[in-house]
Amino acid sequence: MDTTPAESDRALALAELREPERRRAQERFAVLRPHLEDGVPAQDAAI
């Protein structure tokens, strides 16, 4: 799977985080994932 430069930069940034920061980022992304990947309205995804 190819990644864009922006995706590559984000992946590197995530890898540079300390474990608690990385965990929090992953938790936050889990909330947003339905909106970003499945088209669920953001206000519904946050519930």
Give the tens place of pLDDT for each residue, 14-28.
788 899 998 998 998
CB count in 10 Å sphere of residue 41: 9
The predicted pLDDT at position 30 comes to 92
pTM of the predicted model as reported, rounded to 2 decimal places? 0.60
Q: Could you give the CA distance from residue 47 to residue 42 in angstroms, rounded to a whole number?
A: 9
Q: Could you give the CA distance from residue 32 to residue 4 in angstroms, rounded to a whole number?
A: 20
DSSP tag of 46: T
Domain ranges of the chain: 5-45
Alpha helices, DSSP H, located in the chain: 5-16, 19-38, 42-45
Q: How confident is the model over 8-16, as a mean pLDDT?
A: 73
